C-alpha cells in the first residue's frame, strides 16, 4: 500500500447497505451536476481564449470529466482538436507557447509542462475553482475517453465502480506514471 492511511478498505464493502451508503454519500446526483456545470463553464472560457488567440478549432474534454469518473477535486483535461501544422511534440510545444500569454489573461497559475510525453499547459480557473490540463491533439486520450463513456452509458454501475477504483488507487498512492505506477486510465 501507499504512504497515507487508507480511507477506503475493500473489506468495508462486504455488505450491500454499507456500499450503498458510501456511494450515496460520495456521488450524489447534485454533486455530479454541480461538477458538470463547472466543467462546462471552464470549457467555454477556454474555448473563448483559444479563439481570441486565433485558433479555429474546438476544445473538448477528455479523461474523467468526459467519462463520468470525475470526482470533486479532480482536474479537468481539455484538448484543442483543430488543425495543427506540426503534430510532433516540438510542434505542439510551439502551438502551446503561443497560447500561454492568452491563457494568462483569463486564468491563474498558468504553467507550461513541456517535458512530458504529451506537452501540456496547466492552469487554475478562479471562477470555477478547477485545475485544468490543456493539450493539443490528444487523439488517443479522447478516443479512450469515448470508449469509457460508452461503457458508462451501458450500465449505470460503471461510473460508480470507476470512481471507487480511482479513489482507492489514489488513496493507496498506486497511480502516477512518474512514480512508476499505471495511469488512472489503466485501472
Q: How crowded is residue 77: how many other Cβ atoms within 10 Å of its Cβ? A: 23
Question: Reduced to 3 states, what is the DSSP secondary structure of residue 59?
Answer: strand
Q: pTM of the entire structure?
A: 0.78
Q: How confident is the model over 109-153, as pLDDT tens digits?
A: 999 998 878 889 999 999 999 999 999 888 899 999 999 989 988
Choice between 149 and 10, residue whose per-residue pLDDT is larger? 149
- The pLDDT confidence band at residue 85, using thresholds 50, 70 and 90, is confident
* pLDDT at site 169: 83
Q: Who's near 25: CB < 8 A, 6+ residues apart?
A: none
Start-to-end CA distance of the chain, whole Å, equals 16
Q: How confident is the model over 50-81, as pLDDT tens digits?
A: 999 998 889 999 988 888 787 777 889 999 99
- The pLDDT confidence band at residue 159, using thresholds 50, 70 and 90, is confident
Choice between 113 and 170, residue whose per-residue pLDDT is larger? 113
141 to 29, 68, 96, 120, 154: CA distances (angstroms): 26, 15, 18, 13, 20
- For 13, what's the count of Cα atoms within 13 Å in the CB-facing half-sphere? 12
Residue pair 98/177 in contact (Cβ under 8 Å)? The answer is no
* pLDDT at site 19: 54
Helices (H), the chain: 16-26, 29-52, 64-67, 89-106, 139-154, 157-171
Q: Who's near 103: CB < 8 A, 6+ residues apart?
A: 49, 110, 121, 123, 134
Amino acid at each position: 500500500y501507499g504512504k497515507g492511511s487508507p480511507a477506503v478498505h475493500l473489506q468495508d464493502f462486504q455488505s450491500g447497505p454499507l456500499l450503498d451508503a458510501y456511494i450515496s454519500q460520495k456521488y450524489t446526483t447534485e454533486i455530479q451536476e454541480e461538477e458538470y456545470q463547472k466543467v462546462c463553464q471552464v470549457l467555454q472560457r477556454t474555448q473563448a481564449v483559444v479563439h481570441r488567440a486565433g485558433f479555429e478549432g474546438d476544445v473538448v474534454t477528455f479523461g474523467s470529466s468526459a467519462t463520468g469518473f470525475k470526482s470533486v477535486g479532480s482536474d479537468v483535461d481539455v484538448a484543442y482538436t483543430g488543425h495543427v501544422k506540426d503534430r510532433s511534440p516540438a510542434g505542439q510545444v510551439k502551438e502551446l507557447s503561443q497560447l500561454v500569454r492568452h491563457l494568462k489573461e483569463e486564468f491563474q497559475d498558468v504553467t507550461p509542462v513541456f517535458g512530458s510525453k504529451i506537452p501540456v499547459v496547466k492552469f487554475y480557473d478562479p471562477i470555477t475553482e478547477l485545475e485544468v490540463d490543456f493539450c493539443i491533439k490528444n487523439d488517443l486520450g479522447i478516443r479512450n475517453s469515448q470508449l469509457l463513456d460508452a461503457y458508462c452509458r451501458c450500465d449505470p454501475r460503471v461510473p460508480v465502480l470507476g470512481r471507487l477504483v480511482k479513489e482507492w488507487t489514489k488513496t493507496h498512492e498506486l497511480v502516477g506514471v512518474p512514480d512508476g505506477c499505471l495511469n488512472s486510465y489503466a485501472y
